Amino acid sequence: MEAGQVESPLWWRKQVARELVQLRDTADARLGRKVSVTEAAKALGCSVGKISGMHAGDGRLNFRDVRDLTMLYGTPADDVERLTEWAKRSARPSGFKEFAAVMGEPLAELIGGEAEAHTEIDYEHGLMPGLLQCEAYAEAQAIASGIEPEQVAAVVGLRKKRQQRLTDDDPLTLEVFIEESVLHRPIGSTSVMRVQLKHLLTTGTLPNVNVRVVRTRVGYHRALGGRFILLSFTDFPTAIYLEQPPVIGSRYADDSALVAEYQEKVASLRSVAEGLEESAELIETVMGDLPLEG
């Protein structure tokens, strides 16, 4: 990315919003009274709707408004400075702006989270994880998904740019669990699948990437039901990205109860998945069993 850009301004707005809500809800402990949204709007010289929008992470943030609102809530000086800086980051241009047409809000939040997270845990039951897809597989998936032809290149480009997080100066640690059926599901031609499986093996040798396969013979386990991604941070709460269409759709959240539920699913996956070496051997076997294209 260019200097001065951030992966996802939306992600930073949501972090500011989360903190503002917490500060609002605990203001009485610091001030001896609650601060109403009407009082906040009057103090900032704005509408009640604007204050509500700041609490929801909707719309562009003015760092001065964030500073003034946090001070109104009786926030310690260090936290005022921290949130003011976050608000400034949320106003920077996105390094993924060129992909805006193919990137919904939950995915934009995921990308912002991946930029700041130190660890990602990814469970996939239908397709190869986006961070581990080769270009040909990503293209074949996009076409099969009914993506408009003129947007296929953008979808593939977005995947490739996300994948840079695995090899940057402070790479993301990635732990992946893939259902065995994903290895056998043909996406594109046989040659595409061969390249994809090879790419999975190669990327899995990176010191920060672990790929484990859940054998079909395991049967039921607690993670069955839909793909999910858990992101862990040094300075932010653990967050989850869910993709479970059509009922839930895509969702990015840092709800502690929801996160705890999926952390239990991860514990289940770790207990039933094949080890790293066994998983690599299985991937090699599946790749070797692919028919030759004549």
Q: For tokens 């009922």, what's the residue?
A: 247
The arrangement of secondary structure in 9-90, i.e. its CATH architecture, is Orthogonal Bundle (1.10)
Sheet holding 239-244, edge to edge: 209-214, 173-179, 119-124, 227-232, 239-244, 249-253
* 145-176: b (≥16 Cβ within 10 Å) or e: eebeeeebebbbbbbebbbebbeeeeebbbbb
Which tokens hold the place of 10? 């939306």
> Taking CA 8 as the corner, what is the angle to CA 134 and CA 49, rounded to the nearest 5 degrees?
145
Mean pLDDT of 186-201: 97
Query: Using an 8 Å Cβ cutoff, are 179 and 185 in contact?
Result: no
- Domain ranges (residues) in the chain: 9-90, 100-288
Query: Using an 8 Å Cβ cutoff, are 155 and 102 in contact?
Result: yes
Phi-psi region of 159 (alpha: psi -120 to 50; beta: other; left: phi over 0): alpha
How many residues are listed for the chain in this entry? 294
Instruction: Give the CATH class of 100-288.
Output: alpha beta
Render pLDDT for 252-287 as a digit per residue (tens, 0 to 9).
888 899 999 999 999 999 999 999 999 999 999 999
Render pLDDT for 110-141 as a digit per residue (tens, 0 to 9).
999 999 999 999 999 999 999 999 999 999 99
Q: Say if 9-90 and 100-288 have the same CATH topology.
A: no
Quote the DSSP letter at residue 102: G
**pLDDT score of 247:** 47
Among 97, 73, 95, CA closest to 16: 73
**The whole model's pTM is what?**
0.92
